[in-house]
Amino acid sequence: MPMTYVCSPLSAPTRAERLANAAKACTYMALAENEFGGRAVAPHAFLPYLLDDTVPAERALALEFGQKLLGMCTQMVVFGSYISDGMKGEIATAEKMGIPIHYRPALFHQAVGGERHAV
């Protein structure tokens, strides 16, 4: 089954805000599955419940997991016009691997705790 990697912001000043962004990633997975079929994956939709993004070693582990999961995907969808540092790394990896990238800024729901971004 083809998989689509969902790329969207996670980082935010508080845990509650990070969890809100994780919940938005779940919505983005549903949107990606509706648009492209197959399975959509967003590790940042569930890893914040297991790992602490503010602890460098745990953040590194989460980013590594995301990179490995990305390698199993056939495409990537980037939600939003704001690109976080974590997203930049994911996009760069997808480009290096030749994974097609689709941008959906119009479907963006502003990341909680992030900067104010155009919707």
- In this structure, what CATH number is given to the domain that contains residue 25? 3.40.50
Full residue range of the structural domain in which residue 50 is found: 3-107
Residue 119 lies in a domain: no
Q: Under 8 Å CB-to-CB from 4, ≥6 apart: which residues?
A: 32, 33, 36, 38, 39, 40, 41, 73, 74, 75, 76, 77
Rounded to whole angstroms, the Cα distance separating 89 from 112 reads 20
Residue 118 lies in a domain: no
> Is beta strand 39-41 parallel, antiparallel or unpaired with respect to 101-104?
unpaired
Number of structural domains (the chain) is: 1
Residue 114 lies in a domain: no
* pLDDT for residue 53: 83
Q: What is the pLDDT along the chain (119 residues), one digit of tens a residue?
A: 899 999 999 888 998 998 999 999 999 999 999 999 999 999 999 998 899 888 999 989 998 999 999 999 999 999 988 899 889 999 999 999 999 999 998 754 444 554 443 33
